[in-house]
Amino acid sequence: MAEHEKVGVSTADAVAEELGMSRRQIYRLLTRHREGSGVVTDLLADFPARCAACPR
Q: What's the pLDDT tens digit per position in 10-56?
A: 999 999 999 999 999 999 999 998 888 888 888 887 765 556 666 65
Closest to 2 in 3D by CA, of 32, 37, 41, 44: 32
- List the beta strands (DSSP E) in the chain: none
pLDDT the model gives residue 44: 83
Distance CA 56, CA 47 (A): 15
pLDDT the model gives residue 49: 57
Tell if the pTM clears 0.85, that is, is over it.
Answer: no
More confident of the two residues 6 and 47: 6
pLDDT the model gives residue 54: 64
